[in-house]
Chain A
Amino acid sequence: MRIAGRQFASCAALLLCACMFASRGMAADWELSLDMRAVSSDGRNSFLDNGQGKLRFDDDDDGIQLGRLRAAWNQPLGETFSAHVEASTWDDDDKNPIDLTEAYLEYRPYPRAGWRTRLRLGAFYPPMSLENRALGWETPYTITPSAISSWIGEEIRTIGLEAQVDWLGTRLGHSFDFQLTGAVFGWNDPAGTMLAMHGFALHDRQTTLFGRVGALQTDLEMAKKELFHEIDGRPGFYVGAQARYLDRAILNVLHYDNRADPTAESIEIRDYAWKTRFDAAALRIETSNDWTLLLQAMQGDTAINPFMLLNWDFNSQSALVAKRWGRHMLAAHFDWFEIEFQDDPAASGSETGNAWAIAYSYDTGEHWRFALEWLRVESEVPARVEYLGEAAFARESKLELSARYMLTGDF
């Protein structure tokens, strides 16, 4: 069974429109934000331009850039249902000038005796990033999230049904809350393609539901970089758990498996079904004097079997420290990442690397948020030698100023 993601998403979009029409009269919240950037980068040809550069903005992108133009719509549907739609444009060479990153229906009944269930149906992020906690699945700490969150934004989306059960212990006089999550999804079979093509990258460019990762791939033998398609008709799943200590500490774990058949292939997007599995854990601790410590780790593998089994093992770790003084915040994160193709660290397709990001931000609390970030990525990528004739090692850095203006309202 092959079902195009477009087909599913069109149905979902129609359903959402119908729901919104049906609920006219109930106030909907909307958000609109414009994020402009001033960039100075010495990055190699960016992965968004089919290069092996690790940054969103490379050395051709110095100057003023559009960070993101984003519109979101949250529509209550009766007492316990709601619809959420996120649309964005990044003004690069994506397939569609404006596109969706998330669109889902949520069922969130009232808690009973300390228990609460929640269902989400549609396209959304799995609950694994304790870093991207701001509106639009952005990180509030820096401009560029960790390598782990960058990859999630690039390749992973749940298009399916997710159920959560919360035990709200803090409402019962205890110090802990617990949450279990399970989901069944499809339309994410190409996840893993980007790790194999260009490895980890550090960027805030989320892939859209109907779009692709940056510019058109001109090499007709290569995948079209469209990630939200169903190829083998086999649903994937993830299960996760979360423990919260008051509002001070959160521990989150997730096991993801898209259960793809690595022999399946899509002619339409010139890609395989990548059998991708990973385990992710994250711990976030916040103190009363506004320090934040965030540790993340992820380990997994992805494989295709066009004529023989080709396997990429990947892992990444990240540590973030942030300190807020009222509306001012200083934050830094350090990331390690590694991919090993066919158990050979020297193979084309393998890589190792690390990244530093240091950012200062000022949030006016109303409409404006300003951020200045310095990011440096060091990576050792054997494919650069084979395909680009460059040295395997590259050190790329970027200085970026972000000015974001946001409006919210209801209608």
Chain B
Amino acid sequence: MSSRAVTFRIHRAYSGSEVSGRGQTTWCRWLHAVLAAGAWCAAAQAQVGGLEVSVARQNGQPLSGAVITVDRESAPLGPAAPVKAIMDQVNLAFAPDVLVIPVHSTVQFPNSDAISHQVYSFSSARQFQLPLYRGKPYPPVQFDQPGVVTLGCNIHDNMIAYVLVTDAPFFGRTDARGQWRASDVPDGRYRVRIWHPLLNEPREIEGMVDVSAARGAVSIRLSKALRPAPLGSRPHTWDY
């Protein structure tokens, strides 16, 4: 990854006290850094209740569905508790298109279509295959290594989805407004990572944030347009 870190500080932001960020001390001042990956804008704002991350496309429109992972740098808080997740297959598409899970979680891969699918991954984070099936014949697959796992169907090449396995304690996806919030973030220096399947380059963007009051906001704007999203509306009798 060729991303660079942006560091800024938030001191008791909710009380309106001084905020400093690598030589910049003005309250509500945007910190700009031109990165290989994108232009980062970091803002320190009064924000009671937790850390907020906003992601915008190159054109300023909010980016929904971006994966945010946040962990403390010096003394990592460790991964969140494993979950049991589901990646379904409906109308020749994986649902959801991106699944974010803590390490050691399990994912069930039911096939709700009337036709058979054959799910595979050859990603280094987790390689597996589920022979041709319908319904829910196989036990869940466990993901023990962090990383991006790209899923495909060996019968229907247009089917593609991702499981992002994280060892970060805080994670999620941005909403329709391009925002994601975490509450109860303890003090510390945090690494914020952004990932989206359609990012042009680099595939992962990361930055640092020093949080001394566990409250603040980070805004990120991509420098490059996203790649086109997969076409999801083709009838299933096509490209059989």
In the complex where A140-B235, A365-B235 touch, is A111 in contact with B120 (Cβ < 8 A)? yes
For the complex, what is the distance from the CA of A116 to the CA of B132, rounded to whole Å?
Answer: 16
For the complex, what is the distance from the CA of A151 to the CA of B157, rounded to whole Å?
Answer: 27
4 smallest CB-CB distances across A and B, nearest first, come from: A79-B131, A76-B132, A135-B237, A171-B150
List the B residue with the shortest CB-CB distance to A246. Answer: B228
Query: Which A15-61 residues have a C-beta within 8 angstroms of B?
Result: 27, 29
- Inter-chain contact A29/B116, CB cutoff 8 Å: yes
In the complex where A110-B120, A133-B238 touch, is A168 in contact with B233 (Cβ < 8 A)? no
Q: Which of A79, A286, A408 contacts B114 (CB 8 A)?
A: A408
**B contact residues vs A (CB 8 Å cutoff):** 114-116, 118, 120, 122-123, 129, 131-132, 134, 150, 152, 154-155, 157-158, 160, 203, 227-231, 233, 235, 237-240
Chain A residues lying within 8 Å of B203, measured Cβ to Cβ, are 173
For the complex, what is the distance from the CA of A111 to the CA of B240, rounded to whole Å?
Answer: 18
Majority DSSP secondary structure for residues of B touching A: loop
For the complex, what is the distance from the CA of A82 to the CA of B118, rounded to whole Å?
Answer: 12
Chain B residues lying within 8 Å of A134, measured Cβ to Cβ, are 237-238, 240
Q: A140-B235, A290-B231, A324-B233 are in contact. List 9 more A-B contacts (CB 8 A).
A: A79-B132, A82-B132, A113-B122, A134-B237, A134-B238, A247-B158, A363-B237, A408-B114, A410-B134
Chain B residues lying within 8 Å of A365, measured Cβ to Cβ, are 235
For the complex, what is the distance from the CA of A268 to the CA of B238, rounded to whole Å?
Answer: 39
Q: 19 A-B pairs, CB-CB below 8 angstroms?
A: A27-B116, A27-B134, A79-B129, A108-B154, A110-B122, A111-B152, A112-B122, A116-B154, A133-B239, A134-B237, A140-B235, A168-B152, A173-B150, A288-B229, A290-B231, A290-B233, A363-B237, A408-B114, A410-B134
A41 → chain B closest CB, angstroms: 27
**A contact residues vs B (CB 8 Å cutoff):** 27, 29, 76, 79, 82, 108, 110-114, 116, 133-135, 140, 168, 170-173, 175, 177, 246-248, 286, 288, 290, 324, 326, 363, 365, 406, 408-410
Could you say which of A113, A173, A324 has the most chain B C-beta atoms within 10 Å of its C-beta?
A173
Chain B residues lying within 8 Å of A27, measured Cβ to Cβ, are 116, 134
Chain A residues lying within 8 Å of B115, measured Cβ to Cβ, are 29, 408
B232 → chain A closest CB, angstroms: 9
List the B residue with the shortest CB-CB distance to A115. Answer: B122
Chain B residues lying within 8 Å of A108, measured Cβ to Cβ, are 154-155
B124 → chain A closest CB, angstroms: 9
List the A residue with the shortest CB-CB distance to B229. Answer: A288
- Inter-chain contact B231/A135, CB cutoff 8 Å: no
For the complex, what is the distance from the CA of A37 to the CA of B223, rounded to whole Å?
Answer: 54
- Inter-chain contact B122/A171, CB cutoff 8 Å: yes
- Inter-chain contact B152/A135, CB cutoff 8 Å: no
Majority DSSP secondary structure for residues of A touching B: loop
- Inter-chain contact A110/B230, CB cutoff 8 Å: no
Chain A residues lying within 8 Å of B230, measured Cβ to Cβ, are 246-247
Chain A residues lying within 8 Å of B231, measured Cβ to Cβ, are 247-248, 286, 288, 290
In the complex where A76-B132, A246-B228 touch, is A110 in contact with B235 (Cβ < 8 A)? no
A173 → chain B closest CB, angstroms: 6
List the A residue with the shortest CB-CB distance to B135. Answer: A27
Chain A residues lying within 8 Å of B134, measured Cβ to Cβ, are 27, 410
For the complex, what is the distance from the CA of A151 to the CA of B158, rounded to whole Å?
Answer: 28
In the complex where A111-B152, A248-B231 touch, is A140 in contact with B122 (Cβ < 8 A)? no
- Inter-chain contact A76/B122, CB cutoff 8 Å: no
For the complex, what is the distance from the CA of A73 to the CA of B150, rounded to whole Å?
Answer: 30
For the complex, what is the distance from the CA of A286 to the CA of B231, rounded to whole Å?
Answer: 8
List the A residue with the shortest CB-CB distance to B239. Answer: A133
Chain A residues lying within 8 Å of B116, measured Cβ to Cβ, are 27, 29, 76
List the A residue with the shortest CB-CB distance to B133. Answer: A27
Chain B residues lying within 8 Å of A177, measured Cβ to Cβ, are 157
For the complex, what is the distance from the CA of A247 to the CA of B131, rounded to whole Å?
Answer: 24
For the complex, what is the distance from the CA of A133 to the CA of B152, rounded to whole Å?
Answer: 20
List the A residue with the shortest CB-CB distance to B150. Answer: A171
List the B residue with the shortest CB-CB distance to A114. Answer: B122
Q: Which of A29, A110, A175 contacts B227 (CB 8 A)?
A: A175
Chain A residues lying within 8 Å of B129, measured Cβ to Cβ, are 79, 110
Chain B residues lying within 8 Å of A79, measured Cβ to Cβ, are 129, 131-132
For the complex, what is the distance from the CA of A168 to the CA of B152, rounded to whole Å?
Answer: 10
B171 → chain A closest CB, angstroms: 20
- Inter-chain contact B160/A170, CB cutoff 8 Å: yes
For the complex, what is the distance from the CA of A133 to the CA of B123, rounded to whole Å?
Answer: 29
Chain A residues lying within 8 Å of B238, measured Cβ to Cβ, are 133-134, 140
- Inter-chain contact A171/B229, CB cutoff 8 Å: no
A74 → chain B closest CB, angstroms: 8
For the complex, what is the distance from the CA of A363 to the CA of B236, rounded to whole Å?
Answer: 11
For the complex, what is the distance from the CA of A177 to the CA of B123, rounded to whole Å?
Answer: 16
A312 → chain B closest CB, angstroms: 34
